[in-house]
Amino acid sequence: MKVHIHQEAETDYPAVFDLVEKAFRSLEISDHSEHHLVERLRKSNAFVPELSLVACTDDGKIAGHILLTKIKIEDEGKSHESLILAPVSVLPEFQNRGIGGQLIRAAHKKALELGFGSVVLVGHENYYPRFGYELCSKYAIRMPFEVPEQNCMVKELFPGALNKVAGTVQFDPAFGL
Ligand SMILES: CC(C)(COP(=O)(O)OP(=O)(O)OC[C@H]1O[C@@H](n2cnc3c(N)ncnc32)[C@H](O)[C@@H]1OP(=O)(O)O)[C@@H](O)C(=O)NCCC(=O)NCCS
């Protein structure tokens, strides 16, 4: 389904809050607080307004949202700036029509334009590899919490972006970890 993707405006915040809550409502692995996480991240230092995107239908309804925020990958005094994809949400009635994929690709394009080189995420092992995500373990990148290896993924936005990058992901306090 063709959607129009653009930067989220402040006037979109209530619709996005509602959308994220609905997208995760029936998901067993969710703690059902992702809509609050989005609100905290917007107020944090990790927020990059250009990387909070909405997908709109032809009649102007917001059907999906994606948020990429800044993280650091740190190792023995070395610090590398990267992004985390969290969360991506599509309204249940619009799921499985390619909107999530369009949002992910648009976010990658914008992140590259802004000068970022990589995106990490914790997510489903069957979904994200199609967008070029690889296991973090390939790059010796670790999460600061226990998570199955296959769910911890990273994408280079250009070849070689993760050369000599390894270490532990440092999340913004807004994540509440
Ligand atoms: C995950 C999500 C963003 C994908 O967006 P979408 O527009 O439905 O997905 P697309 O149409 O681009 O892709 C469809 C594929 O995604 C898969 N998919 C959908 N939801 C999924 C999920 N929660 N986990 C894994 N894969 C999922 C479908 O099985 C389908 O796979 P196939 O192409 O192999 O058949 C959306 O389904 C959603 O909001 N889900 C609830 C919230 C969530 O799980 N967010 C991701 C964690 S941050």
Give residue 177's pLDDT. Answer: 87
Give residue 39's pLDDT. Answer: 98
Q: Specify the ligand 1 atom closest to the Cα of 87.
A: 48
- Ligand 1 neighbour 19 (Cβ under 6 A): no
The CA distance from 91 to 89, in Å, is 7
Least confident of 34-38, 74-78, 101-105, 115-119: 74-78
Give residue 117's pLDDT. Answer: 98
Identify the residue whose C-alpha is closest to ligand 1 atom 30.
96
Q: What range defines the domain where residue 154 resides?
A: 4-171
Tell me which H or E stretch contains 18.
Answer: helix 13-24
Residue 60 included in any domain = yes
Contact (CB, 8 A) for 88 and 64: yes
Give residue 2's pLDDT. Answer: 92
Identify the residue whose C-alpha is closest to ligand 1 atom 22.
124
Per the structure, how many domains does the chain have?
Answer: 1
Of 85, 102, 105, nearest to 41 (Cα)?
A: 85
- Ligand 1 neighbour 107 (Cβ under 6 A): no
Region 119-124: mean pLDDT is 97
Region 133-155: mean pLDDT is 97
Region 105-122: mean pLDDT is 98
Region 127-132: mean pLDDT is 98
Residue 42 confidence (pLDDT) above 90: yes
Residue 9 included in any domain = yes
Residue 177 included in any domain = no
CA-based Rg of the chain, rounded to a whole angstrom? 16
18-36, pLDDT tens digit by residue?
999 999 999 998 999 999 9
Q: At what angle do helices 34-42 and 13-24 cross, to 10 degrees?
A: 150
Give residue 29's pLDDT. Answer: 86
- Ligand 1 neighbour 27 (Cβ under 6 A): yes
Region 150-163: mean pLDDT is 98
CATH classification of the domain holding 60 = 3.40.630.30
75-97, pLDDT tens digit by residue?
998 999 999 999 999 999 999 99
Residue 176 included in any domain = no
The CA distance from 32 to 24, in Å, is 6
